[in-house]
Structure 1
Amino acid sequence: MKIRDIALIGILSATITTGKLALSFIPNVEIVTLLFIVYTIVFGYKKILLVSLVFTTTEIFIYGFSTWFLVYYIIWPLLIIITEFMKKKIKSEYGYATIGAIFGYTFGAFFAVIESFFYGAAYGWTYWIRGILFDLLHGTSNFIIILVLFKPIIDILTRLKKSYYTNKS
């Protein structure tokens, strides 16, 4: 790994954390899903898996240590792998918006499964059902955000990547 890659991983991790914090006042509206998708498309899954590790670790420092971190260490790499697998098959932002929507709609279910291991199945079901409205908002907002911002961010990152990796000064 080159020094440029290490710097890139730090910058991408910081932008995801900053993006999440910037929208944290709106429940379940976030750009983390969008950023992981576009970063994977532009920079490849290997670097972005490291970004997800840094992002999740930073989240632990911000929000504290609890069972949620297990989901984060699983869910973001899962999104990155799905994006990497689908990037040859999906040709428009609608496909990625659909992935983002499904991801948001099932986000609470992922957490419910993990919570069930610690607190029992009844708690997991209650946790999931109680959060269904938040999941609906999460999935729908992911769909809209990805439709609106996918192409502009891909274009910007692609240009920056060309400049970043071709300028050897």
Structure 2
Amino acid sequence: MSTYRLTLIAVLAAMATVGRFFMQHIPNVQPVTAIIILSAFFLGPLSGFMLATITTYLTNLALGMGIWTLWQILAWSLIGVIAGFLGKFVRRHVRLTLSVFGFFSGFLFGFFFAFINYLVSGKFLGYYILGLPFDFYHAISNVLFIMLLYRPFLLLFNRELTGFNQRK
């Protein structure tokens, strides 16, 4: 991995961290998932994994570190890896595909935490159902951030990577 790529991942992690700090007063509305999805789509699964790990660690240093940090890292890393593999196969209707994936990622993130809660406490259904409105906020904000950030990210990554011109 090049120094430029590592620097780019660090800058993206800083951007996601600032976005999460800025939006922390609105429950589950944050640009982190969208930034991970877009970055992993263009840079690949490993970059998505690294970005998810760094961003989660940085944001939780200030917002509160706990056992949930590991689960956040795993959930966002899973989303990043899936988005990275989507980037290898999706060539048409990219913005629509990423928006749909972003929407479902909001629910995947919540389901992941409900499953972890089940493993820890034995309770799943109540926790999952009560979390659905927050998962919906997360899903909608992912779509909005992906729609807002897709074009700037496309231009940013076109400078580093070739072959994405046809994805406009």
Range class of TM-score, shorter chain: 0.7 to 0.9
TM-score for both structures, normalised by structure 2: 0.82
The separation in 2 between residues aligned to 1:108 and 1:144, in whole angstroms, is 18
1:12-51 CA-to-partner distances (Å, cap 9, x unmatched) read 2111111111222222222112211221133333233222
- Determine the structure 1 residue equivalent to 2:48: 48
Where structure 2 has 5 or more consecutive residues not aligned to the other structure, the ranges are 162-168
Change (3 A) 1:68 1:90: farther
Change (3 A) 1:48 1:138: closer
- Determine the structure 1 residue equivalent to 2:90: 89
- Aligned Cα root-mean-square deviation (Å): 2.1
TM-score for both structures, normalised by structure 1: 0.81
Which amino acid is the alignment partner of residue 58 of structure 1? L
- Determine the structure 2 residue equivalent to 1:140: 140
Match runs of 1:107-118 below 5 Å? 107-118=109-120
- Determine the structure 1 residue equivalent to 2:9: 9
Where structure 1 has 5 or more consecutive residues not aligned to the other structure, the ranges are 163-169
TM-superposed CA distance for 1:142, in Å, is 1.5
Tell me, yes or no, if the aligned pair for 1:67 and 1:115 is still in contact at 8 Å.
no
Is 1:100 paired with 2:102? yes
- Determine the structure 1 residue equivalent to 2:155: 155
Identity, % of aligned positions: 28
Change (3 A) 1:66 1:117: farther
- Determine the structure 1 residue equivalent to 2:62: 62
Q: How many residues align?
A: 159
Greater Rg over alpha carbons, structure = 1
